[in-house]
Each structure stands twice: as C-alpha cells, then as structure tokens.
C-alpha cells in the first residue's frame, strides 16, 4: 500500500511503541527524532514508497539504537 | 456413572482449542496498542474484559451446540455424523499444518487480509471495557472455522454425561480453552513485554503448528476408537 510520509506521525508512532515497551519518553525522544530524520532522508528522491518499505527502513534505523524497539516496530502489523 | 471416554474427548478438544493462536495474538495486539496509549491499570481492565468476551463466546457456542445436538439428534449424534466430524478433524489437522500460519517469519495467520486488518484496527481503537469485551466476542467468533468441529464433538460428549457433570465440563472446556490468555496476562503482569512474548511465539511457531495439527489428529483417532468402534 502506498504510504504518505509524515515526520511527526512517525515520531508519535515510535513514542507509542516505546511506551508499550515501558521505555522512558525522555530516553526515546532523541532516538525517535534521529530515526525520523534518517527515514526522511531515505524518502527523498523516491517518487512512491509503500507502508512496508517505510516500516522496514524505520525498523532498520531503530535497530541501531534499541533492538526491542526495532523489533516491535517491524512486527506491529504482523502479530495476527 | 461417568463416561471417562466422553470426559477425555472434552478435555482433548479443549486442549486443541487452547493451541489455536487467534485469540492469543489478538490479546497481544490489544496489549501492544493499549500500553502505548493508556496507563497500565486501564490496559489490565481492557485485557480482562477481552478475556471475558472470549470465554463467554466459547461457553455460548458450546452451550448452543449442546442444545442443537440435544434437540436435533435426540441426545447423541449418529455414527454417520460422528464420522463426518472425524473427517473434518483430519482435514483441519492438515489445514493446521499447512495453512494455519502464513509463510514467512511472522506469526500472521490464515485469516483473510481484510479480517486481519479489521481485528488489527479494532484492537488499536479499543478504549473502553465494552469495546474490549466485544473484541473478545468477535475473535471467539472469527476462530470458529477451526473451533466449530471441536465444539460439536465436545457438545456430543458432554450430553453423554450425568447432568451435574455436563455443567462442570462446559466450564472446564471454557477454562482450558482460555488458559493461554490467562497465562499471557500473568506473564505481562510479571514484567514480560509484548516483544518478549512475540519473539517467543515466533521462535516456537513450528512447534505450535505441529502441536495443533497433531492434536486434531489425536482427537480424531480418539473419537474413532472410543465413540465409534467402542460403542458398536
């Protein structure tokens, strides 16, 4: 499915995932902002991106900072 | 006098029911969505209502199956009816082995994409206890393609027991069927995260697949041995 990238929505999504994992918002916020910046950079120059692409790239970036957060983000729509 | 073969059938069917993953996955989804939005105590309440919904749906479907078999079959299914159920159980065993989980490294199930995304969406939107309870009912209903035959053979066996045992076995079946949900709830309460549980489910996916399929087959064999050959 074609996705529309919004930096703020991505940051909010990451913060929600972090809250679900019991991570402190003040710890996660810089990670979320940096990840959103990197994903935004990745989206530049691409005419269309899918939701799966976006989730995969975000999870890959998050993995560098927190493995659990990356895993949770990548699997959030794959539980059932 | 208690018919132990009937008790065994009900317990075995309940165990097979407990190995199915839709209600467990949906509870995990509910936990995941709710913990990201609400405080822990609210999430616990939502999870409790969800489990109550699944339990009630299981109990109602089993009771309805008892009533229908009692009314239409005058207390017990015919050998032909039981043979059909055994055939269906064998078919379900193969479905559990080859179709129940989607291929890939996730725990996505056989559900059509639209149904899965509807349950996903409902789990994320669930904010009140009534919605959580309704989600439990919905999931109990959505799992019926796999649980209906289990329910029918259990209902048939329950009707062969003395009246006081009928009520007891209805409750035991429901309790065993929702045991994974209760275990998950206790696990999360004791500090396991959704990621821990999901990693564990992913790691043991093949084991669950084999267990479910083997359970259906063993139940089919049990019915054939004790309910058909044993009574003729």
User: What does each of the 80 residues of chain A score in pLDDT, given as a tens digit?
Assistant: 677 788 899 999 899 889 888 888 888 999 999 999 999 999 887 888 888 888 889 999 999 998 989 988 888 877 87
Q: Is B37 on the interface with A (CB under 8 A)?
A: yes
Contacts of B195 in chain A (CB under 8 A): 21, 68, 71-72, 75
Residue B230 near residue B23, CB atoms below 8 Å: no
Identify all chain A residues contacting B39, using CB atoms and an 8 Å cutoff. Answer: none
What are the Cα distances from residue A31, in Å, to A38, A61, A66, B32, B77?
11, 9, 9, 20, 62
Half-sphere exposure of A43 (CA within 13 A, CB side): 23
CA B55 to chain centre: 9
Say which of B31, B35, B120 has its CB closest to residue A77.
B120
Chain pair A-B, CB pairs under 8 angstroms: 57
Q: Is B142 within 8 Å of chain A by CB?
A: no
Which 3 state secondary structure label does DSSP give A47?
coil
CB contact under 8 A, B35 and A71: no
pLDDT given for residue A25 in this prediction: 85
């Amino acid at each position: 499915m074609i996705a529309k990238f919004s930096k703020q929505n991505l940051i909010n999504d990451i913060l929600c995932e972090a809250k679900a994992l019991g991570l402190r918002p003040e710890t996660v916020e810089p990670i979320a902002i940096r990840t959103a910046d990197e994903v935004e950079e990745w989206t530049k120059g691409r005419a269309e991106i899918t939701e799966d692409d976006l989730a995969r790239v975000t999870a890959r970036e998050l993995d560098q900072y927190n493995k659990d957060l990356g895993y949770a983000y990548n699997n959030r729509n794959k539980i059932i | 006098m208690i018919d132990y073969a009937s008790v065994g059938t009900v317990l075995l069917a309940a165990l097979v029911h407990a190995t199915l993953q839709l209600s467990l996955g949906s509870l995990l989804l509910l936990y995941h969505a709710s913990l990201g939005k609400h405080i822990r105590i609210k999430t616990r309440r939502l999870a409790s209502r969800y489990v109550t919904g699944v339990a009630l749906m299981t109990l109602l479907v089993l009771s309805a199956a008892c009533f229908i078999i009692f009314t239409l079959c005058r207390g017990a299914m015919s050998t032909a009816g039981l043979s059909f159920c055994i055939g269906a159980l064998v078919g379900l065993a193969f479905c559990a082995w080859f179709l129940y989980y989607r291929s890939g490294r996730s725990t996505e199930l056989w559900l059509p994409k639209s149904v899965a995304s509807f349950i996903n969406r409902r789990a994320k939107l669930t904010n009140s206890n009534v919605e959580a309870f309704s989600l439990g009912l919905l999931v109990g209903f959505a799992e019926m393609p796999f649980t209906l035959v289990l329910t029918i053979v259990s209902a048939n066996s329950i009707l062969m027991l003395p009246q006081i045992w009928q009520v007891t076995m209805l409750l035991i079946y429901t309790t065993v069927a929702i045991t994974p949900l209760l275990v998950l709830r206790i696990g999360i309460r004791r500090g396991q995260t959704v990621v821990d549980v999901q990693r564990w489910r992913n790691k043991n996916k093949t084991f669950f697949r084999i267990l479910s399929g083997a359970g259906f087959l063993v139940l089919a064999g049990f019915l054939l041995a004790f309910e058909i050959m044993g009574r003729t």
